[in-house]
Amino acid sequence: EVQLLESGGGLVQPGGSLRLSCAASGFTFSSYAMSWVRQAPGKGLEWVSGISGTGDSTDYTDSVKGRFTISRDNSKNTLYLQMNSLGVDDTAIYYCAKKVAGNRPFDTWGQGTLVTVSS
């Protein structure tokens, strides 16, 4: 069974940092591009960052460029999101999601981890 399990969320003060993880199982992790998608309270879905199967290509939405870093460890079947300089607008549930490389939809999502930025 294909599974994605996020962890690492929590309460952090503005300006703080947090590292999210997404443990994958049930598929050949290195064959799939991965992304982080977030959902602020009561809002729609927003793609945050993506990484290729090999990890040599990454992309970010403009609002997180220079603050967030996506990475993956294919030997551990794990995706990461290092989040620095967090602001209240970063408060959201963060989902990891997988897709085939190229113009394809997300075929599997994790259950999400909540990040709350508040003083």
Partner 1 sequence: EIVMTQSPATLSVSPGERATLSCRASQTVSSNLAWYQQKPGQAPRLLIYGASTRATGIPARFSGSGSGTEFTLTISSLQSEDSAVYHCQQYNNWPPGTFGQGTKVEIK
By the rule CB under 8 A, 76 interacts with partner 1: no
By the rule CB under 8 A, 47 interacts with partner 1: yes
Candidate ranges 14-22, 23-31, 71-79, 104-112; the one touching partner 1 (CB under 8 A): 104-112
- Cα(84)–Cα(52) distance, rounded to whole angstroms? 22
By the rule CB under 8 A, 66 interacts with partner 1: no
Residues near partner 1 (CB under 8 A), total: 20
By the rule CB under 8 A, 53 interacts with partner 1: no
By the rule CB under 8 A, 119 interacts with partner 1: no
Q: How many CB atoms lie within 10 A of CB 15?
A: 11
> Which residue of 12, 29, 78, 110 would you call a contact of partner 1, by CB under 8 A?
110
Instruction: Please count the CA atoms within 13 angstroms of the CA of 61 that sit on its side-chain side.
Output: 12
By the rule CB under 8 A, 8 interacts with partner 1: no
Q: Which is nearer to partner 1, 13 or 103 (CB)?
A: 103
Cβ at position 50, least distance to partner 1 in Å: 6
- Residue 110's closest CA among 48, 35, 12? 35
